[in-house]
Structure 1
Amino acid sequence: MTASELIAAHPILETLIGLAILGLAAWVAYTLTRVILIRLFGHMTQRTSFVMDGLLIEHRVVHRLAYAVPSVIIHAGAAFIPGLPEPVRLLVENVASAFTAITLVLALGAFTNVINDLYNRRPDAANRPIKGYLQLVKIVLYTAGAIVAIAFLIERSPMLLLSSLGALAAVLTLVFKDTLLSLVASVQLTTNDMVRVGDWIEMPQVHADGAVIDIALHTVKVQNWDKTITTIPTYRLISDSFKNWRGMFESGGRRIKRAIPLDLASVRFLTAEERARLRRFTLLRDYLDAKQAELDAWNASHPERASEPVNARRLTNIGCFRAYVQAYLKAHPGIHQEMMMLVRQMPPGPAGVPLEIYCFTNTVVWVEYEAIQSDIFDHLFAILPEFGLKVFQQPSGWDIQQAADASGPEAGRLALLAALAQEDRQAAAR
């Protein structure tokens, strides 16, 4: 029996052979299209400086377009397969058409990634990110692609499906609630320039404290300083408050705001010998001369009060120390001289009298900022004894033991009781 006679005797063989030939043709067309397109864009990438050529391959736009070719061939060739039942032919054509629509939509979705990469190479891309808008375009594309694919499968007009979706508007609103909120939030964030990629933000309510690494339609990713990632819904940046440190970086100075607690028992008037000794400080000479002249003039104009030291105006060690700190900050090379600089006394309390230093460094680099701040307070803590001042600190076990060893067991017990009573008073005051 010849092959023609065998096929004539079994018509199903002719149909199977036709399907095999159609499948082989589709596979060959896909392979050739994929190889040709990849080589074409590969040569264009090497010969031209247009970066889109390489991005089309990197984001697999070319690969997705290549998938559309076999589906088109299958759709066109299904009518030429002999013996194929009409319902099966229609099913093959409809599935091929739906696959073509989905493939083209996926290619367009990948092309939006190409657009985003090209846009991110602009110098101002971090100020106006478009990733959220492109994701919204993707949602619209994928929704339209799904509707067209379903329309092909059920052989109905896509407009008929769209008109039926009107009755489901309330359901769709609930389904896409987060998307709608995120879209509005993305527009507000971009329009008002509230946050950019690279900004340092703090949002304690979601445990975020670090640099923004990604701004998308639905989420904003923050890499915290411990290298963890916090993902924040975009609309939370509108509904809740957060701190953005961008202004600090743009100003060129970072604030130092720290107080030195001084023991009130060490605050006193200066003697003539101590005033003379403090003149050794170059930073204090102008202050001492001006202040002493002011005090002498006042005392001379009030002889009835100046005759008694308790009624006269005199220099204090805490006032001289405050003036020294002010002069030291003005002479420090790491302090920004054009920004606010202040040395002030805070209200005294159970922990002594705080002397607050308020100024700005001339760098915003974290490591350099901490080094400058530590250098300043290292010096101030070390120079305090020159002014007869002491730093206030709670008595520790070592302090009590020293007192006990110096005064005997009974005195040690009394010192311990006094220290405990003092701690109770301070706790009650707090």
Structure 2
Amino acid sequence: MLSKKNPLQAFEKIKFAYLAALGILFWGLLQQYATQAGIWLTADSFDYLAAAQSLHVKNALLRANGKPFVHWTPLYPALLACIGKNKGEILPFVAAQQLFFSVILYFFLYQIIKKNVKSAIARIWTFLALLTALPLFMVSIFLWSESFFLLLLAALWYFYPDKKNTSKSFTFQSLCFALLALLLVMQRNAGIFWLLGLLMMLFTASSQDFFKSEKWKSYAYFYQTFSHFFYLSLLFLPAFLFFLFWQWRGFHLSEGKFRAQSHAYGSSLVENLTLYGSKIWNSLLPDSLFSHLWHFFGFEFEKLPTYLGAGIAIFLVLGLGILFIFFTKNKTLSLFYGAAFFYFVALNSLGKIQAADGERLLAPFFLVHWVGLGFYLEKVLFYDINTKKTNKLWRILAWTLAWTLAFIWLLYPLSRLLKNAIFWHQGM
């Protein structure tokens, strides 16, 4: 909270809830505008629709080509199956469904930001950064499963059972957390990366606490330190069992053809890193910035600006990850940022990713990444202006200038979002 003597305490009087509600309303109207003529379809979309139709008619999951629906998980087709038999009946519902998912998603993000970011102005900036993040908007415009996946991920974060929480709601939180973990894996195969990332981060944090103490040889102390890790593993057990079952089913129905695909893992690591890095850079600054500077100074290498922007973006992600893992005291945020980083690494280790899929696959990562950026922006730019170490007036001016620049920067993702919304509206 800001000091009572703080001249910027007026920001605390601006209700975050009111601004968040207005932001979501604007976002919803923009989504309705972008999908006014219909929702966008890709190759995956036709398979989702075919699986929903076959489940509705034949009680079986089949792709558009009639083959078994094995490369995707079943939850999203199940959400569509109860609507109708043809595309004309489903698509209007999908647009409304995506909007509904997004509104609930931003409610959970509102609660998460309130918990992790303390100052009102930093909360507002973080929420606006998420509202204007193009990947989070894009997944609501296309018939993709990421929209509901993001909702499940935010809800999983919200219901995380903190071992310090001894209230009566701990059991309820744990049950919701276990159910959401199961649904996360049922919605997308990539959900397993988030669960493994959370366990890996919690095991690392518990190990640090364990070996810091002289009691580390004690079995009782070992159990006490790692008890929450074992508890989460137990909560994740239904999700892991479903994942194993679905992989076995896919291998069985594809007659062992997954073996050929496994050889592609890691073979396109550099290309994937460049693609994802350029997408992250493009969320911060225009991707043409380095190219214009490059040509201005007379350089002829076409690819180097892309590599440079991608490298800076990946360095930023890696640097934030190290800060969260080793230095921040916000344990829950550290766990989820670590899981997001694990998800990012896992994505890069898979087969070659198409450029058109880059932003939608990064959408879950951006959900946590922007909260992390808002958290650190607050730590860097927000401090007690009433300190006597330096001139108070200069500190107020510096604080005001820094946050003014931070909010001016938001004009870039907002303009990018508006440009794409207009494009999707006219493109249909």
TM-score range, shorter chain: under 0.3
TM-score norm. by structure 1 comes to: 0.20
Instruction: Specify which structure has the bigger relative contact order, considering alpha-carbon pairs within 8 angstroms and separated by 6 or more residues.
Output: 2
TM-score norm. by structure 2 comes to: 0.20
Bigger share in strand: 1
